Structure 1
């Protein structure tokens, strides 16, 4: 059965969600009811209110996350999305906190990552409920509020207080089924500078999981700037790192500084971490944030590493490769890899749904991205961007295709139906 796709209602609901500024770490005042910011809590309540209007069971989980649920049964399956976003950045040509429609494209921060897909799952649940599809399990949409920061306080709180799904998927990545996600490592280099060190002021980057699109430095009264292109840290090759561009310019100008020496080595090869495995491929590195003043130099990097590797091995290799530069190295955050058996019920069931719908039988894949699938057992990433489709996550003028939205809706409806049998 093909479910009706109510495009107008979905886009209208998405417009209201986009208007709530839910930038991770910058989402309004922190209160007991809103531990991630009042705007995060408002956005969660906005989605829950839509669910209540559709007749769903809903719950706000103490401002960290929320869920909507349909169906009956002792077991529960889920789709997991998030309503927080990365920073906006510069040079937008459309209002970032509104919905702009231009032909088949819709623009706004979160249209693809992940507010648009949150609305798609919400309307998929409505379609299943309205069609009275017989389900043997309850079906839940879990909405997180702390995905982009990497700490995932929302999922930690959920797991401590709520029911864990038997099977789940996160439509926050791409197709086909993503059965493995690389490990994520955030590291910080820090060095106290000597008083006789010539003063360099250097600033770039706002979000560690994004390629920085602007960098500025001042040295000896002269200002230097570089512009690049933002991209998701899981695919740094798709961006143009302004931080690295500016460092190259400063090096070419003959400026001698410990931070610039470090940035010369800021590649997998230069840091001694050009690792790879057969399951998930090569390690990637995103030098994301720099702050340098007269007293201190700081560089923060996002690393996506192969699923068979350990974060500590990477840290030790970096320490060995940079020991002569005198920087202190710290691991700020690690998200362990996800690896689900590609022959499991979950992977084979979702892969069949995708293959039957698209005719693409290429098989499940590996991603450098990090989704909420890592939060639970028997969970994978499934949904979002189709092969060959442009991925605008974390980019200026973030957009999504209405046609892609419709296709996601039809696949997700079927996925939730199959998992709930």
Structure 2
């Protein structure tokens, strides 16, 4: 099966999608038609309108999500993507809401996570339809609008009334096949401060699933600021946490405060949760959002935990390790782990497509990321970043290579064709 990757058409379609500001929780007015914000609904409709122009069937599901589909048959397979993005942050050197091309690299917020893969997957559907590839199942692209927010209201809405795929994958992570994703839990520490204490006004972080790249504080008439490097919370070691840097600078200046004491322990070891398992490896912790004023101190952390563990046990360990500091602790959000049998038809079929295309026979892997694969049975993450490539998800000057885009297109075409047999 030889299908052409129309680079210019893909890039122009991607440019239009990037120009729509669909930042999660900051996407314009919330209306009945656009419950996630007008920008997100506009982005969903942009993809649906493209699909309609390709002769594909489309549906907008009340502004939460949508889908594009072609084919016939009682069963359906799907690729699952999203068009909402994280906040832009500081220090971009290119316009974040546009497409900048520099040689083989394309830049823009969402170009890799996940607007780029959305457009690539849409063109894969078009290519399969136009080539009249023989299939026995319908093929659908499901487009969500609330992936970055954590609550996944889009997938909840989809499953209320729409058809569930028999097999699915989300090209929102990497290669090879990701058969397991760690559990995700967000925890909040809060403490009311006693009157008369010197005031530490501190703020850091905008998105729970990103490493904060800027943190600021005012204390006793002096302003402090630390800058770091943003990264996805699934790989916090790839970033440079500005909040932790700032806390270290404040402590070094002799400042004492409950929030600084808590941040001093904000590591897996300090929280008593330095855990791992053989299936999915080590737990990771991202102290993401902090706030302090004359009345209260707050810290929100993103934790990615191994698939064989329970969040309740981890919360109990954190409480034990921090109880002396006097903070309340609650779990604000949890997404349960994903673990699909690595010998299943879905995993082995996708892995064969990948190995045949790349020659890489290293086998399926585990990720700390959280993709829409968790929303359905018989779904995995498959696609995005190749081994050895730089993963710029959630980072400043987010980029993706055109070469990688073309390879993803080829693999998605082959994967959908195989699953739809």
Instruction: Please give the range of the TM-score, normalised by the shorter of the 2 chains.
Output: over 0.9
Residues 168-317 of structure 1: matches in 2 within 5 Å?
A: 168-317=168-317
Give runs of aligned pairs for residues 120-139 of structure 1, distance below 5 A.
120-139=120-139
Q: What's the CA shift string for 1:55-88, capped at 9, x where partnerless?
A: 0000000000000001000000000000000000
Q: Distance in 2 between matches of 1:339 and 1:229?
A: 31
Cα separation, 2, equivalents of 1:299 and 1:275? 21
Q: Is 1:40 the equivalent of 2:22?
A: no
For residue 217 of structure 1, give the secondary structure of its aligned residue in structure 2: strand
CA distance in 1 between partners of 2:412 and 2:240 (Å):
33
Aligned residue number for residue 102 of structure 1:
102
- Unaligned runs of 5+ residues in structure 2 are none
Give the aligned length. Answer: 421
Q: CA deviation at 1:245?
A: 0.1
Deviation at 1:163, TM superposition (A): 0.3
* Displacement after TM superposition at 1:240 (Å): 0.1
The TM-score normalised by the length of structure 2 is 1.00
TM superposition shift of 1:247 = 0.1
CA distance in 1, matches of 2:145, 2:287: 25
Q: CA deviation at 1:198?
A: 1.1
1:413 aligned residue: 413
Partner of 2:67: 67
Q: What is aligned with 1:6?
A: 6
CA distance in structure 1 between the partners assigned to 2:280 and 2:330 by the alignment: 25
- State the distance in 2 between where 1:177 and 1:11 align: 26
Q: TM-score, normalised by structure 1?
A: 1.00
Partner of 1:79: 79
- CA distance in 2 between counterparts of 1:2 and 1:375 reads 32
Per-residue deviation, 1:161: 1.1
In the TM superposition, 1:382-401 aligns within 5 A as 382-401=382-401
Q: CA RMSD in A?
A: 0.4
In structure 1, C-alpha distance between the alignment counterparts of 2:119 and 2:55, rounded to whole Å: 16
3-state secondary structure, aligned to 1:117? helix
Cα deviations by residue, 1:104-140 (Å, 9 ceiling, x for unpaired): 0000000000000000000000000000001100000
Measured after TM superposition, the shift of residue 404 of structure 1 is: 0.0
- Please give the per-residue CA displacement for 1:367-402, whole angstroms capped at 9, x wherever unaligned: 000000000000000000000000000000000000
Structure 1's unaligned 5+ residue stretches are: none
Q: Distance in 2 between matches of 1:40 and 1:293?
A: 33
Alignment match, 1:112: 112
Q: 1:139-184 CA deviation, whole Å, 9 max, x = no partner?
A: 0000000000100000000011100000000000000000000000
**In structure 1, C-alpha distance between the alignment counterparts of 2:208 and 2:197, rounded to whole Å:** 27
Secondary structure (helix, strand or coil) at the match of 1:346 reads helix
CA deviation after TM superposition for structure 1 residue 6, in Å: 0.4
Deviating above 4 A after TM superposition, structure 1's stretches of 4 or more consecutive aligned residues are none
Partner of 1:332: 332
The CA distance in 2 between the partners of 1:2 and 1:327, in whole Å, is 60
- The 3-state SS of whatever aligns with 2:211 is coil
Distance in 2 separating the partners of 1:355 and 1:194: 61
Residue in structure 2 matched with residue 29 of structure 1 by the alignment: 29
Q: Distance in 2 between matches of 1:335 and 1:132?
A: 39
Partner of 1:157: 157
For residues 342-353 of structure 1, the aligned pairs below 5 Å read: 342-353=342-353
SS in 2 for 1:409: helix
What is the SS of the residue equivalent to 1:405?
A: helix
Q: CA deviation at 1:305?
A: 0.1
- CA deviation string 1:186-220 (max 9, x = no partner): 00000000002110011000000000000001110
